[in-house]
Every structure is written in C-alpha cells, then in structure tokens.
Structure 1
Amino acid sequence: MIKAGIIGGSGYTGGELIRILLNHPAVEIDFVYSTTRAGKGLSTAHPDLLGLTELQFTGDVNLQVDVVFLCLGHGNSSKFLIDHAFSEKTIIIDLSNDFRLQADANFQGKQFVYGLPELNASDIEYAQYIANPGCFATAIQLALLPLAKAGRLSEHIHVNAVTGSTGAGISPSDTSHFSWRNNNVSWYKPFTHQHLGEINESLRSLQNPLGELFFLPNRGNFTRGIFATAYTHFNGSLEDAKELFNDYYTDAAFTHVSKDPISLKQVVNTNHCHIHLHKHNDTLLITSAIDNLLKGASGQAVQNMNLILGLEENLGLNLKAGVF
C-alpha cells in the first residue's frame, strides 16, 4: 500500500482528500497533520467522516512517506518545505499557488510540474513534484485548450465564471458567511484574478501570440462548483469546433464534451469536467463546469498521484454526481 500524508488536513481540500484516500484501494493514509487539531479525531473537523475512520490529526510528520499532499494557504507550502525535508523518494503534490508559475516551479532543486493532466499528462507521469492547478484555472483552461492547440485564440477571449463559497476556504469572511452569501451574487477581482497567470502560461504553451483574456469571477450563493462561460471569435462552423474538442479530449478520463447544454449539478461531487459548445454568428460560446474542491483541487491531486504511480487514472475517483 502507498503511504500518504496530508499537511493541513482540517480545511475543505484536506477533508476531500481524506474522503477520497480512505476509499482508494491502493493508498493508506499514514498521517493527517494539523497544528490546531493534533490529537483530535478527523471527524471533529469533518463530521461526514464520522464512523468511517478512527484516525486522529497529528502534529508529527513522517518525512519518509511515499506521497504527501500540501493543503496549505497560499505562500505557506514553500515555508513548510523549507522547515521539513522529505525523503528524496517522496512525491510532493502542492495544492497552493506557490509553484504553479514557471518562475516559481524550481524550488530548492525540486522541479514542479504543472498538474493539469489534460495538458501535461506525459510530463506528470515522470514527475515527482506537482503544482496542482487552481480551481478557476482548471475550468477555464479546459474550456480553451483545444482552441489554443488549434491556434484559434487570436481574438479577445471573454470569460465569466461563478464559484461556490467553498472556493474562499474554510475561514469565515465577510463574503462567505450564510446571511451575506445566501440569495446573493457579486463579482470580485475583476480582470485581475490570481489564476490568470497560470492560465495564460498554459495557453501560450500551445499558442503564442494569444488574444487578450478578460476574466470576471463571481461569487455564487451555493457551496461548491464552478460554472464558466467563455466566448471568442471563431471562423468555422459549430461542427468544426466540436471536432476540435472531441479530438483533443478523446483520451481524457474526466473531461467530456456534451451534445446538450450542461448544468452545475452534473459535476458536483465528481472529478469530471463537462463542456458544451454553442455558436452564435461568428462567436463560439464554451461552457465548462467542475467541482472546485475535486477536479479543481483534491480530486485532480489524486488524479496526478495516480498518473505518477502508474495506476489507473480514475482509481479511487469514480464518484457520481447527485443531479436531483
């Protein structure tokens, strides 16, 4: 059995990782590290785990573990790795934004590979250190990668996407507590969101120069999921666009092109991304939907682990959505 450790296990992404790994047939959780809950049962932070495990949070780290997942706040993963020298054989998968950009990918001699399987599967398979993509970045890139690969993103690209409250993390804030968020919608960080850096780097690895990308993120009055709509000029028929997308994702384990319009519930609680294409005059509309905590975080992290270890890509990730 593969021994896995989780650093920062009391948050949303840590909780989802625990849930997945408890049911992963090839993995055993070695430890779940938390500075605030050491000695307490995992279900004290994650009530959905009640009766599923007797594991407790710990303040100790096994530096010889086979794989470790870093579920820390942005900027804290690099600090943690400075203070904790894992074995030379330990696979490190970071869920923060510390190593996603090319300028930050080499850290203390560790070369982090950007962990978007639909873009970098062949590199991920031979990697030891993974920078897991951001949630918005995942949904937007999956909507645009086939067009970039075909060199069809020369015009302006407009993206509007709405995310659930779990995207803001577990710590309460003015815009995430129930009485503000419920029955409410708002935008934030217009055209300046931090995920734009990694999105542009990925798209430019396929097409350069690239049309300017305008991204407007929105807060939704639901807990989890991202529903993104992207549109740009497209010279070609809708059938041409469908062929590009179907060819690009023909071997993708988790990204599927739908003939029918999609909705968010189709993907919540799964590691899947659903995509739909619509054309109006010379404008192509691409809709993509993911679960921000799974395909946008913990599920994709396990997908990356599976690829590195030569396991079936969907092992432990056959999760079904509840659409009713």
Structure 2
Amino acid sequence: MSKLVKAGIVGGAGYTAGELVRLLLHHPQVEIGAVVSSTQAGQPLHSVHDDLLGDTDLTFASELTGDEDVVFLCLGHGNSREWLLKTHLPPSTKVIDLSNDFRLAADRDVAGRHFVYGLPELNREQIRTADSIANPGCFASAIQLALLPLAAAGQLHDAVHVSAITGSTGAGRGLVETTGYTWRTGNISTYKTFTHQHLGEIGETLVGLQTSFAKPVRFIPYRGNFTRGIFASVYTTCELLVPEVQELYADYYRDAPFTIVSEKEIHLKQVVNTNKCLLHVAKHDDQVLITSALDNLLKGASGQAIQNMNLMFGLEETAGLGIKASFF
C-alpha cells in the first residue's frame, strides 16, 4: 500500500515523540519525514530512544523538510505557540499539538489557524475537517471519558470528585527528584491538589455539554510508583438506576473504537501499551462511581494524536494503533 501521509515531529527527543515514532514506523499509510530536535540534530534516533535500535536508521534533523502533510508538536508547554508564530507552515500542512497551549477555548486561534479540541469521543466530526488539533491532556482524557455520557444527558447535578494516579512518564523525560527511581519506588504522593492544569479543559468540556453544570470538579492527582498508565476513580451524585446508567454509557460509546465499557471491574494492566480507555460504572447508594484506565503516553498523548491524524486524513480511525497490552 502506498504511503498517503508524510509526518514530521518537532521536539523529537521527549517521551511523546518517541511513542509517535514507534507507532508511525508501523502505520500502513504514513511516512516519517523529519524528526526535529534542537539538541540532538545529526544523532541517530536510537541514541535517545534506544529501543529503536534496529527499527530505523533515521537521524534527528535541525528543521522540517517543508513538504510534510502533518506536523506533530511535542514541545514543552508554552513553546508550541511561539514555534508556530515564528515558523512558516503552508496552510495545507495540518498540525497536532501535544502541549497544553491550545486546549482552552480562549487560546485556540494563532497564526491563522484554529485549533479543535482533539478528543474524538467528543468532537469526532469537527476533527475530520480541522487543520489543527489541540490534543487533550492525559488526566483530562481519562476524567472526561468517565464523565461525557453523564454531561451529555444532563445528569451532572453535584460536585464531581476525582482521585487519579499516574505513572512517572507523565512528568516528562527531564529528571527531577519526584521522577527518580530512588524517590518514586515504594512511594506515593499527591501533587497539584484541586489546582491541576487539566481542570480547565475538563470544565470547558462539561459545561459545553451541559450548560447548567456549575459545580466544582475536585481532583486529587497522585504520583504512582510505576512508569506508565492512569487509573482514575470518579464519583458524583446520580439519581439514575444502575441499568439506566449502564445503558447510558453503552449507548454513548457504541461507536467509539477505543473506549470500552466493561461489565467487570478494570485494572491498569489491561490498557498499558494500548490506545484503549476502559471504563467501569457502578452505583453506591446515590453515588455513581466510574473507574477509568488508560495509558498516559498513548490514549493520553501520542496514540490519541495518531487517532486524530487518522480522522483528519480520512483514514481508518484505528490504523496504526492495533497494539497489545503488556499484560505480563
């Protein structure tokens, strides 16, 4: 099959860029052009992403080739907007940004581009016709997927409580004390309680679906002593009966290839190294509890970015994402 899409990656030395390269190398309809890194130009990709040894002879570039169909921005938060303002991209080149620069409605217009919020289960049709995508945050993806059906049905009537834990890769490649092995192993801690940056995009989505929703989302994030994955427990008051809630979720995600509602309780190993988000719904007295699990680097970042790319170019939504869980 001939390659239909030429992809470039900017910010190629980080975790999300490494995941993009791994996935795109095996995508049946994508050719990787330049993988740009300001610090690694001229070095082979496997000098940084050393698991790529034997998979590709690509080297890091100092700039794009100029004929990319799509560019993935894997820059640090705050740098994508600056890069777009100083870089001339042809209007026909699509952009998928993995930072938080364009996730909020007030920030989505820059350099003649309008960014669409790239959660396929929410905005699939808008993504199909977009020229630029703001890829959602990892926690935001897990939490929103847990709540979309309730908001769409106007069933959010009280504060939403979230407790969610993430692996160390969620903090990026740069080594700091709280990502180091000796600190993280056998340890657990909270951070950014009630103030996490993903709350903004979560709030906009919920209000966009249910304009009457004016209650807080009280979010406590945890650092886990594992490398990848997010497990979120989300609960709020709900008057629906158990069968009604289950039917609501089954109907909402009926056509979502990567979001699966499980009848049994879920766990993290089911989703690590996949683009899936698993959900489980239960009722306890008047509280509905939704547990949500996904891989923070895939459905929470690079896998979802490729899912968005597939939609933008009219490809099969699941193309290049048929990967198995690392269960054992």
Q: Give the TM-score of the pair, scaled to structure 2.
A: 0.98
Q: Aligned to 1:167, which of 164, 170, 176?
A: 170
Alpha-carbon distance in structure 2 between the residues aligned to 1:117 and 1:276: 20
Match of 2:326 in 1: 322
Pairwise CA RMSD: 0.7
Partner of 2:88, secondary structure, is coil
Match of 2:280 in 1: 276
Match of 2:295 in 1: 291
Amino acid at match of 2:254: T
Report if aligned partners of 1:114, 1:131 keep a CA contact under 8 Å in 2.
Answer: yes
Report if aligned partners of 1:71, 1:95 keep a CA contact under 8 Å in 2.
Answer: yes
Match of 1:306 in 2: 310
Asked if 1:100 corresponds to 2:103, the answer is: yes
Match of 1:250 in 2: 254
Report if aligned partners of 1:68, 1:90 keep a CA contact under 8 Å in 2.
Answer: yes
Asked if 1:230 corresponds to 2:234, the answer is: yes
Alpha-carbon distance in structure 2 between the residues aligned to 1:281 and 1:20: 43
Match of 1:239 in 2: 243
Q: Aligned to 1:154, which of 157, 168, 182?
A: 157
Match of 1:185 in 2: 188
Alpha-carbon distance in structure 2 between the residues aligned to 1:322 and 1:293: 14
Amino acid at match of 2:234: A
Q: Aligned to 2:91, which of 82, 88, 92?
A: 88
What is the aligned-residue identity percentage? 59
Alpha-carbon distance in structure 2 between the residues aligned to 1:202 and 1:266: 27
Q: Aligned to 1:195, which of 198, 203, 226?
A: 198
Partner of 1:140, secondary structure, is helix
Asked if 1:16 corresponds to 2:19, the answer is: yes
Higher deviation after alignment, 221-230 or 206-215: 206-215
1:108 CA drift (Å)? 2.0
Task: Number of aligned residue pairs: give it.
Answer: 324
Report if aligned partners of 2:273, 2:325 keep a CA contact under 8 Å in 1.
Answer: yes
1:63 CA drift (Å)? 2.8
1:132 CA drift (Å)? 0.2
Report if aligned partners of 1:15, 1:46 keep a CA contact under 8 Å in 2.
Answer: yes
Stretches of structure 1 that go unaligned for 5 or more consecutive residues are: none
Partner of 1:142, secondary structure, is helix
Higher deviation after alignment, 58-67 or 306-315: 58-67
Stretches of structure 2 that go unaligned for 5 or more consecutive residues are: none
Superposed CA offset, 1:147-192 (max 9, x none): 0001111111000000000000000011100000000000000000
1:143 CA drift (Å)? 0.2
Report if aligned partners of 1:242, 1:277 keep a CA contact under 8 Å in 2.
Answer: yes
Alpha-carbon distance in structure 1 between the residues aligned to 2:156 and 2:317: 30
Equivalent residues in 2 for 1:208-227 (5 A)? 208-210=211-213, 211-227=215-231
Partner of 1:65, secondary structure, is coil
Alpha-carbon distance in structure 2 between the residues aligned to 1:122 and 1:231: 29
Q: Give the TM-score of the pair, scaled to structure 1.
A: 0.99
